[in-house]
Amino acid sequence: MEAVLAHLRGAIERGEYAIGDKLPAEASLSKEFEVSRSVVREALRGLQALGLTVSRTGKGTFVVSNEPVDNPTFGPYSARDLLEVRRHVEVPAAGYAARRHTSDHLDVLTELLERMDRETDNTAWVALDSLFHITIAQASGNPVFGKVIEEIRDALARQSALLNQLGDRRPASNHEHRVLVEAISSGDENAATEAMTEHLAHVESALTNIVGFRNAADAAEKNGDSENP
């Protein structure tokens, strides 16, 4: 998946596929790269998230830009949408989880940590990552937190897949997750909120390195400066 995405992204950015060009069909790319069509499909989703292509039902995938956008989209939500919500939901949820978790929650989180450390398949790891964050939200003892993360689960998975493909985030994420679980297990609310805040900061940093992502506060400040020179 990483190789297919990197190759197609490079070809678009070099102009080998010009704006308006149609990319080869999934079947053709699958044969060219000797991978399954599901792998090609995930790579094409990555190009769309970066704003390089659009998919037109029944027609194919077309190049719309040779530069990635600064706020990629994952399904119906942008990276900025996700980061804003996660800061207001997952950070306090981690703090509540430190106070309210049960032994069952810790058992699940510990098992997920071990499975993510061992997992070699990116798609499987992303699924475990989503379950990890949902479990922390559930451990908060407030079902609304869990519902919110469930709602954005697919978007989070797509974002995580992109960060792993282009930012090699898995090793760092595994470490950050372990620090987070240790804080929750110790019952230290401040440490848990700090660990989640740090984790989300690294996510934003990875997005910045990949596409020049700017968070909402930076964007607002820039807009304000331009309106009030």
CATH number reported for the structural domain that contains residue 97 in this entry: 1.20.120.530
User: Count of alpha carbons within 13 Å of 78, Cβ hemisphere only?
Assistant: 13
Is 79 found in the same domain as 187?
A: yes
Same domain for 51 and 86? no
Measured CA to CA, the distance from residue 135 to residue 138 in angstroms comes to: 5
Based on the domain organization, do 149 and 87 belong to the same domain?
A: yes
pLDDT in tens, 49-107: 888 999 898 899 999 998 888 888 888 999 999 999 999 999 999 999 999 999 999 99
Q: How far apart are the C-alpha atoms of 183 and 141, rounded to whole Å?
A: 17
pLDDT digits (tens, 9 = 90+) for 119-176: 988 889 999 999 999 999 999 999 999 999 999 999 999 899 888 877 778 999 999 9
Tally of domains in the chain: 2
pTM of the entire structure? 0.77
Residue 120 in tokens: 């070699």
Tens digit of each residue's pLDDT (9 = 90 or more) over 17-58: 999 999 999 999 999 999 999 889 888 988 988 889 998 988
Sign of the four-CA dihedral 77, 83, 87, 88: negative
pLDDT of residue 220: 43
Nearest-angstrom CA–CA distance, 116 and 187: 23
Domain hosting 31: range is: 2-63
Check whether residue 53 and residue 114 sit in a common domain. Answer: no
